[in-house]
Amino acid sequence: MIAYLLRRVGYALPTMLGVAFLCFMLVHLAPGDPLVSILPPDASADLQKQLMRLYGFDRPLPVQFGHWVWRALQGDLGTSIATARPVVHEVFNAVGNTFILATLATLIGFTVGSLFGFVGGYFRNSWMDRAASVVSVIGVSLPHYWIGMVLVIIFSVQLMWLPPSGAGPSGSGQWQWDVAHVKYLLLPAFTMSFIPMGIVARTVRALVGDILAQEFVVGLRARGLGEFGVFRHVVKNCAPTALAVMGLQLGYLLGGSILIETVFSWPGTGFLLNQAIFQRDLPLLQGVILILALFFVGLNLAVDVLQMLLDPRIERT
Amino acid sequence: MSATMAGTGNLPRPLMRVRNLMKHFPLRRRAIGLGRSSVRAVDGISFDVMKGETLGVVGESGCGKSTMARVLMQLIRQDSGEVVFDGRTVGDRTLPLQAFRRQAQMVFQDSYASLNPRMTIEDSIAFGPIVHGTTPAKALDRSHALLARVGLAPARFAGRYPHELSGGQRQRVNIARALAVEPQLVILDEAVSALDKSVEAQVLNLLEDLKRELALTYLFISHDLNVVRYLCDRVIVMYLGQVVEIGPAAEVFDSPRHPYTKALLRSVPSGDPLRRLDAPPLSGDPPNPIEPPSGCRFHPRCVVAQPVCSRAVPSLTDCGDRHAVACLRWQSGSGYSPASDIGGLPPIRTVEVSHA
Amino acid sequence: MTSVSAVSQPHGDAGLLPRLDAMAVRSPSHRARVMRRLARDPIAMMASAIILALIVAAICAPWLMPADPFATSMLKRLRPVGTPGYLLGSDELGRDMLSRLMLGGRLSLFMGIAPVVMAFVIGSAIGILAGYAGGRINMLIMRCIDVFYAFPSVLLAIALSGALGAGITNALISLTAVFVPQIARVAESVTTQARRSDYVEAARASGASATIIVWQHVLRNVTGPIFVYATSLISVSMILASGLSFLGLGVKPPEPEWGLMLNSLRAAIYGQPIVAALPGVLIFLTSISFNLLADSLRMAMEVKQ
């Protein structure tokens, strides 16, 4: 098992390096000079050359990449052009906020999605199943930024129950766990929960259906096990896969929150990304994407390992 | 035995010579592997296939029969050893793969999986000839002729898809497909094993007829000893990737030499209530082909094994009548003492076994 | 090659064989059977009808739309739905919503569908190559694809178009880059499956070259599943493409596009919430129709043969 663990980590390392390379290349993908955003428009050719040398842009790409990775490993992702603060500092503040949002959204989405999935899987082809699958199709088809707007219209504009945007009454961006702050969290989290809801519902429905169709369930029933007992067996057998899906969805939401954060002006990574893009703050852009992608890879790894621990059948030696 | 060498008036000559064929599959480890161990699927096999004969290959599942078939067809490249076809080494300049594959064809066990589900029957059969340069129109004509020959009316079947046919019909299509390039040798890898008994008999009769008409040579791989006995002129018995006994079918079936062959023959279910076994002829599963037993590979399961069997490796020894066996008991000077050869296999209650 | 006389003896010469005539049984091809099943599926038909209607409306917009979608009017800003002359209201610059939604469908549908079509071609090619080649080549290609897989698709799309800069072409490139790895992965797995199948073995045993086997045997069996998967991506692509425009990364104003319209109407949610939400309804309608169609298609192809 430890061998598997090591192998799985060893497998993730090249992926991480590839991710780093892709993030590094983002800056060089950008049209024009990588310095164009910091240089004043009237900069002399001399100044430009000087800066090129200063930032190391005059060296060959592999060398630049090596340097960049080396510094990143030491926790130095460069300096934000817009705020002049270290990128790492900016990113970690935002990651915290996004994490709060994504976790709550995942929990809501997972709970509701599993519920629909169980109903659908248990009563296959009944009207309840059909209703549940309609809901899950709607869930995966909704443009979430739009449903965010619709929810704002309903709950903020019409009913005036919840604030339409921001992450707290003071606007400082410093998160606190109190009623005033949580009110700001509810709408974006609920909006975001639509993303995993449909996928979780579909997965759970398929899982439950498959398990119920298996012979051991027939055997359990034949031996006189009550419906509740059968249900417990089903849950036990679904759990590893369902939890894996949940973990992956959390990772997905962390990186895919940008549109929703923009709608709600939630001061998370997505919002930061948005800023970075429109201020052409390429070091910040690079840093945010690198951290989010690495997080996603790490989460994938964690889910794999966790699944192995949970599922006795998977003996990956 | 209805299968005879009738078609070959002159002396039989080898159509295919297999020499020291070896195929080990390294165990795949995901990512950074420690690819040391390997499955020894085919481990040094040599034999001849005579022109015009039906050579049977028997053995338990997992003994490497199918791998051998695939290596013979060169669907898998052997690690070492060679296959000589009609005097020319397969894969050489004298007999490139493509040319060899017009001479040898194969019929697979799974009649459904071996037909492209998106191709009509006629297209599947015509595919081979077209590959070898026949014009599509001519290939289709031949495809229809072959369909008729294997007992499927072209008008009814040519335009159909595999899933619309029964297993027996599909296997007829597969046979037609194999014959479409006019091969000399047809390798039948468990070709009738998946069929119902009644259908199996029909297909076997068809195979016999085709062989006579087209002067074919068959390599018939099967785990069904009754069928092999019915169909084959000679038989190879395989155990863990090696040949343990080879000889004329009548010889091998009526006076088997290798203890494994004996045990295998005893495991054939018999309709005769008098012929009943007290103990299972073969106990346990075949050993792991990754780490085969030392010495004679059969010794852990062999009822007449002696200490020497775990040390010395037996080689195929001729014991007359084109019959050879790889057992230390039949190898003079091997260290096996025949005196202690008592007890032997579990007894059969009736002394005389009459063959119906 | 010699004649078939040896084989066809019982029936005489091959040339005299009865040709397949009108009496002969011809089974409908797989595609025909799938289409027939789809035609009997009310959901698939409904979804297709909606998609068709949206496409027709978008293509014919210049002739069908009631007003000039670019004509602004400060006096007639943000009219509600049902205002005479403004059937679906007017936007924040007083432009006719109905006309803008119709014309906007052109870019929105194009930006939703085109990346998937391009990714279908590129991704299939990569995946089939990897799947059929196997071994080291497969590993190399698939490891590269894993790297792209390490990004949530929204993040990747935004990162790429963010770095490339706003604009339709860049948005198309980014979205294609998002879907290529996903399609390639599906293509690789179905191709690997096909490569290991007995019918490919049999084709190899016939002496066919790898190229012929891929064209004649593999493609026939893998395009279906890849196509179904690609269809299901159109829904995601619609949402993502409009999302890029919503962020200001796709289409530039004043060009109408549903995502962009949604963004510019965000300020209007207090005054005209229904008008502000309208572009999203169309994105949703398109997305769900493609999703339902993809589901039906998958079921029609999965039916036990």
- Both A26 and A112 in one domain: the answer is no
Nearest to C155 among A145, A262, A292 (CB): A292
For residues A115 and A196, what is the distance between their CA atoms, to the nearest angstrom? 13
All structural domains of chain C, each given as residue ranges with its CATH number in brackets, are 37-301 (1.10.3720.10)
Q: Indicate whether A39 and A119 sit together in one domain.
A: no
* Lookup result for tokens 């739905």: C81
Mean of pLDDT values over A148-171: 78
* For residue B174, pLDDT beyond 90: yes
Across the range C197-225, mean pLDDT stands at: 89
- Asked whether residue A213 is assigned to any structural domain, the reply reads yes
Do the beta carbons of residue B75 and residue B100 sit within 8 Å?
Answer: no
Mean pLDDT of B92-121: 89
Interface probe for B, chosen from C9, C136, C199, C209 (most Cβ of B below 10 Å), is C199
Tell me the average pLDDT of chain B. 82
Number of alpha carbons in the 13 Å side-chain half-sphere of residue B324: 15
Q: What is the CA radius of gyration of chain C?
A: 25
Name the one residue in this structure whose structure tokens are 């498959």: A210
The ranges assigned to domains in chain B are 14-29+36-252
Average pLDDT of the residues in B208-225: 92
**The pLDDT of residue B104 is above 80:** yes
Q: Which of C145, C140, C181, C170 is nearest to A26 (CA)?
A: C170
If you write DSSP's letter for every residue of B30-68 in order, what string do you get? SSS-----EEEEEEEEEEEEETT-EEEEE--TTSSHHHH
Which has the higher per-residue pLDDT, A75 or A179? A75
CB–CB of B180/B217 below 8 Å? no
Q: How does the average pLDDT of chain A come out, rounded? A: 80
pLDDT of residue C3: 42
Helices and strands in chain A, H and E counts: 12, 0
Higher-pLDDT residue of B232, C68: B232
Residues 207-226 of B with CB under 8 A from C: 213-214
Q: What is the pLDDT of residue A172?
A: 59
Residue C72 corresponds to which tokens in the numbers above? 């602004």
Strand order in the sheet with B38-50: B38-50, B14-26, B80-85, B88-89
Angstrom distances, CA of residue C254 to CA of A282, B103, B113, C273: 27, 71, 57, 21
User: What's the CA angle centered on C270, arms C267 and C274, to 5 degrees?
Assistant: 95
Which residues of B, range 285-304, sit inside 8 Å of C by Cβ? none
Residues A262 and A233 grouped into a single domain: yes
Q: Which residue of B has its CA nearest to A13?
A: B31
Q: What is the pLDDT of residue C127?
A: 94
User: Is C20's CB within 8 Å of B102's CB?
Assistant: no
Is pLDDT above 70 for A39?
no
Option in C6, C198, C305 nearest B163 (CB): C305
Inter-residue contact B13 to B86 (CB < 8 Å)? no
Q: What is the ipTM of this complex?
A: 0.83
C72 reaches B (C-beta below 8 A): no
What six digits make up the tokens of A310? Answer: 């949970």
Range of A142-146, C37-41, C109-113 with top mean pLDDT: C109-113
Is B30 close to A7, i.e. CB distance below 8 A?
A: yes
Q: What is the mean pLDDT of residues A165-181?
A: 69
Report helix, strand or coil for A32. Answer: coil
The more confident residue out of A42 and C109 is: C109
Q: Terminal CA-to-CA distance of chain C, rounded, Å?
A: 37
Neighbours of B, requiring at least 3 CB pairs below 8 Å, are A, C
Question: pLDDT per residue over B109-167, tens digit each?
Answer: 888 899 998 899 999 999 999 998 889 999 999 999 999 999 999 888 988 999 899 98
> Which residue on chain A is closest to C292 by alpha carbon?
A137
Average pLDDT over residues A30-44: 63
Whether A80 is covered by a domain: the verdict is no
pLDDT at residue B279, rounded to an integer: 61
pLDDT for the residue A257: 81
- Do residues B215 and B52 lie in contact, with contact meaning Cβ atoms separated by under 8 Å? yes
Cβ neighbours of A11 in B, within 8 Å: 30-31
User: What is the sign of the dihedral through the CA atoms of C245, C250, C252 and C255?
Assistant: negative
Coil, strand or helix at B318: strand
User: For residue C54, what pLDDT band results from cuts at 50, 70 and 90?
Assistant: very high
Task: Report d(CA A205, CA A129) in Å as an integer.
Answer: 9
Please give the Cα distance from A281 to B305 (Å, whole number). 80
Domain that holds residue A246: 94-316
Mean pLDDT of C246-263: 86
Chain A residues with CB inside 8 Å of C297's CB? none
Where does a domain end: A73, A105, A132? A73
**Vertex B338, ends B337 and B340: CA angle to 5°?**
80
Higher-pLDDT residue of B33 and C125 is C125
The answer to whether B144 contacts C20, with C-beta atoms less than 8 Å apart, is yes
Judged by a CB distance cut-off of 8 A, whether residue B35 touches chain C is no
Least confident of A224-228, A251-255, A301-305, B105-109: A224-228
3-state secondary structure of B12: coil
Residue burial B14-31, b: 16+ Cβ < 10 Å; e: rest:
bbbbbeebbbbbeeeeee
In-domain check, residue A9: yes
Interface of A with B (CB under 8 A): 7-8, 10-11
User: Is a pLDDT exceeding 60 seen at residue C165?
Assistant: yes
Q: Answer with the residue of higher pLDDT: B147 or B353.
A: B147
Distance CA C205, CA C199 (A): 9
Position B234 scores a pLDDT of 93
CB C253 within 8 A of CB C260: yes
Q: Report the distance separating Cα A316 and Cα A309, nearest Å.
A: 10
Contacts of C17-25 with CB under 8 Å at 24 or more apart are C17/B141, C17/B144, C17/B145, C17/B148, C17/B154, C18/B154, C18/B155, C20/B144, C20/B154, C20/B155, C20/B158, C20/B159, C21/B155, C23/B155, C24/B154, C24/B155, C24/B156, C24/B158, C24/B159, C25/B155, C25/B156, C25/B157, C25/B159, C25/B160
Calculate what percentage of chain A has a pLDDT beyond 70.
Answer: 88
**How confident is residue C78, by pLDDT bands cut at 50, 70 and 90?**
confident
Cβ contact, residue pair B182, C305, below 8 Å: no
Pick the most confident of A285-289, B176-180, C104-108: B176-180
A132 plus A249 within the same structural domain: yes
Q: Which of B101, B211, B121, B131 is nearest to B174 (CA)?
A: B121
- B70 close contact with C: CB closer than 8 A: yes
End-to-end CA distance of chain A: 6
* pLDDT-based confidence at residue C128 (cuts at 50, 70, 90): very high
Question: For residue B161, with 0-12 CB atoms within 10 Å meaning exposed, 13-18 middle and 19 or more buried, which class applies?
Answer: buried
- Position of tokens 């080291």? C136
Q: What is the pLDDT of residue B5?
A: 42
pLDDT at residue C15 is higher than 50: no
What pLDDT is stored for residue A35 in this prediction?
Answer: 61
Q: What is the mean pLDDT of residues B175-196?
A: 91
Q: How crowded is the C-beta side of C32, counted as CA atoms within 13 Å?
A: 6
A81 belongs to a structural domain: no
What local confidence, expressed as pLDDT, does residue C11 receive? 42
Out of B204-213, C78-87, C206-215, pick the least confident.
Answer: C78-87
**Do A135 and A203 fall into the same domain?**
yes
How much is the average pLDDT of A173-191? Answer: 78
Q: How distant is the Cα of A259 from the closest Cα of chain C, in angstroms?
A: 7
Q: What is the pLDDT of residue A168?
A: 67
Contact call for residues A252 and A195 (beta carbons, < 8 A): yes
Give the 3-state secondary structure of residue A118. Answer: helix
User: The tokens 């892709």 sit on which residue?
Assistant: A22
- Smallest CA–CA distance, residue C26 to chain A, in Å, is 35
Mean pLDDT score, A303-310: 78
Which tokens in the block code for residue C250? 């796709």
Of B29, B42, B64, B40, residue with least CA distance to B293: B40
Of C18, C203, C217, the CB nearest to B155: C18
Is B295's pLDDT higher than 80? yes
Q: What is the mean pLDDT of residues B160-175?
A: 92
pLDDT at C233: 92
Q: Is the pLDDT of residue A173 over 70?
A: no
| Higher per-residue pLDDT: A62 or C24 | A62
Q: Which residues of B touch A301 (CB under 8 A)?
A: none
Confidence of residue B216 (pLDDT cuts 50, 70, 90): very high
**pLDDT recorded at residue C6:** 41
pLDDT tops 50 at residue C207: yes
Mean of the per-residue pLDDT values of chain C: 84
Q: At what angle do helices C153-164 and A282-310 cross, to 10 degrees?
A: 160
Torsion of CA C164, A16, A70, A21, to 10 degrees: -30
Which pLDDT score, from 0 to 100, does residue B338 have? 66
- Chain A contact probe: residue of C46, C142, C247, C288 with most A CBs at under 10 A: C247
- Which H or E element spans position A187? helix A179-212
Residue A314, pLDDT score: 53
Q: What is the pLDDT of residue C126?
A: 95
In terms of CA atoms, which chain B residue is nearest residue C194?
B116
Sign of CA dihedral A213, A217, A223, A226: negative
The three-point CA angle A223-A229-A235 to 5° equals 125
Decide if A87 is inside a domain.
Answer: no
- Among residues 151-210 of chain B, which lie with CB inside 8 Å of chain C? 154-161, 163-164, 174, 177, 179, 181-182
- A113-117, B25-29, C126-130: least confident range: B25-29
Query: Of A129-143, B82-96, B220-234, B338-352, which range is least confident?
Result: B338-352
- In this prediction, residue B329 carries a pLDDT of 83
Asked if B343 contacts B302 with a C-beta cutoff of 8 angstroms, the reply is: no
Which DSSP string corresponds to chain C?
Answer: ---SHHHHGGG--GGGSPPP-TTS-BPPPHHHHHHHHHHT-HHHHHHHHHHHHHHHHHHTHHHH-SS-TT---GGGTTPPTTBTTBTT-B-TTS-BHHHHHHHHHHHHHHHHHHHHHHHHHHHHHHHHHHHHH-HHHHHHHHHHHHHHHTS-HHHHHHHHHHHH-SSHHHHHHHHHHHHHHHHHHHHHHHHHHHHTSHHHHHHHHTT--HHHHIIIIIHHHHHHHHHHHHHHHHHHHHHHHHHHHHHTSSSPTTS--HHHHHHHTGGGGTT-HHHHHHHHHHHHHHHHHHHHHHHHHHHHHHS--
* pLDDT of B29 above 70: no
Please check whether residues A104 and A243 belong to one and the same domain: yes
| Structure letter (DSSP) for residue B312 | S
Q: Quick check: C1 and B134 CB within 8 A? A: yes
Which of the two residues, C133 and B38, has the higher pLDDT score?
Answer: C133
**A297–C239 C-beta distance less than 8 A:** no
In-domain check, residue A84: no
Give B144's contacts in chain C (Cβ within 8 Å).
Answer: 14, 17, 20
Name the closest residue on chain A to residue B30, using Cα atoms: A7
* Cα dihedral sign, C272-C274-C275-C276: positive
**A19/C147 Cβ within 8 A:** yes
> Which residue has 């309840």 as its token pair?
A128
pLDDT in the model for residue C2: 41
The answer, for B234 touching chain C at a CB cutoff of 8 Å, is: no
The CATH number of the structural domain formed by B14-29+36-252 is 3.40.50.300
* pLDDT at residue B331, rounded to an integer: 78
Residue C105 and residue C64 in contact, taking contact as beta carbons nearer than 8 Å? no
C1 pLDDT more than 70: no
C277 with A149: Cβ contact below 8 A: yes
From B31, which residue of chain C is nearest by alpha-carbon distance?
A: C139
Of these ranges, A18-22, A293-297, B205-209, C17-21, the one predicted with the greatest mean pLDDT is B205-209
CA distance B99 to chain C (A): 8
Is residue B19 within a helix (H) or strand (E), and if so which, with residue range? strand B14-26
The average pLDDT across B301-328 equals: 84
Same domain? A250 vs A212:
yes
The pLDDT > 90 percentage for chain C reads 31
pLDDT at C17: 45
Lowest-confidence segment of B95-99, C24-28, C60-64, C224-228 by average pLDDT: C24-28
pLDDT digits (tens, 9 = 90+) for C261-302: 888 888 877 878 888 888 889 999 999 999 999 989 988 887
Please tell me if residue C303 touches chain B, with a CB cutoff of 8 Å: no
Residue of C42 and B36 predicted with greater confidence? C42
Q: Determine how β-strand B185-189 pairs with β-strand B104-107.
A: parallel
The beta-carbon neighbor of A26 closest among C159, C239, C292 is: C159
The token pair at C29 is 């091809």
Omega of the bond leading into A143 within 30 degrees of 0 (cis): no
The band of C149, judged by pLDDT with boundaries at 50, 70 and 90, is confident
Round the CA-based radius of gyration of chain B to a whole number and report it: 22
One domain, residues A108 and A160: yes
Instruction: Give the side-chain half-sphere CA count within 13 A for C192.
Output: 16
Per CB-CB distance under 8 Å, the chain A contacts of B32 are 7, 10
Last residue of a domain, one of A21, A43, A73: A73
Determine the 3-state secondary structure of A316 from DSSP: coil
Q: At C8, is the pLDDT very low, low, confident or very high (cuts 50, 70, 90)?
A: very low
C153 contact residues in A (CB cutoff 8 A) = 256
Under 8 Å CB-to-CB from C201, ≥6 apart: which residues?
B70, B75, B108, B114
Domain count, chain A: 2
Picking from C26, C30, C207, the nearest residue to B118 by CB comes out as: C30
The pTM score is 0.82
pLDDT at A36: 60
**Of residues B80 and A179, which shows the higher confidence score?**
B80
Rounded distance between C-alpha atoms, residue A33 and residue A15, angstroms: 28
Q: Give the residue with greater pLDDT, C6 vs C119.
A: C119
CATH at A119: 1.10.3720.10
Give the pLDDT confidence of A130-155 residue by residue, as tens digits: 888 888 888 888 888 888 888 888 88
Predicted pLDDT at C256: 87
The answer to whether B336 contacts chain C (CB < 8 Å) is: no
